[in-house]
Amino acid sequence: MKRVNQTKFGRPDGNCFEACLASILELPLEAVPRYTGDDWLERINQWLRWHYSLQLIIAQPDILDAGMAPDTYVIADGQNHQRVRHSVVHRGTTLVHDPNPSNGGLAITQEVLVFVAINPARMKRRKERAGTV
């Protein structure tokens, strides 16, 4: 993981979620598309499937305590201490990156977005074609 901080704050322009994705995928912030609206998850999953053979699923916060592998990166989403919707990166149950420079984390975790590999063989074939394996 490479820590990337958000550059926009508050509703509706904040980009903490995109900064979390950029951090986990080790990308520059501007390489992560910004999707809003009711279909944001479907659209971000289309992008993740195409580029990384991954998708995000939404889980309840208790998944963090339900035996998830301790080295698994997830995006926790909820309210920060100012009652603003916010996203942070966890590794297992541990907060490892808050993209907001205040580094305040979440006061309430409402959901957890978990990465799922949808076609691991496709990832390997893409790397082989690119000469990176």
pLDDT of 129 above 70: no
Parallel, antiparallel or unpaired: strands 108-117 and 54-59: antiparallel
pLDDT of residue 118: 86
Residue 40 belongs to some domain of the structure: yes
- Structural domain boundaries enclosing 113: 16-130
Residue 37 belongs to some domain of the structure: yes
Give the CATH number of the domain where residue 122 resides. Answer: 3.90.70
Residue 7 belongs to some domain of the structure: no
- C-alpha to C-alpha distance for 85 and 52, rounded to whole angstroms: 27
- C-alpha to C-alpha distance for 19 and 32, rounded to whole angstroms: 8
- pLDDT, tens only, 9-46: 988 889 999 999 999 999 999 999 999 889 999 999 99
> Domain total for the chain?
1
Residue 4 belongs to some domain of the structure: no
Secondary structure class of 130 (helix, strand, coil): helix
Which ranges in the chain belong to alpha helices (H)? 16-25, 40-52, 120-130
pLDDT of 130 above 70: no
The model's pTM is 0.86
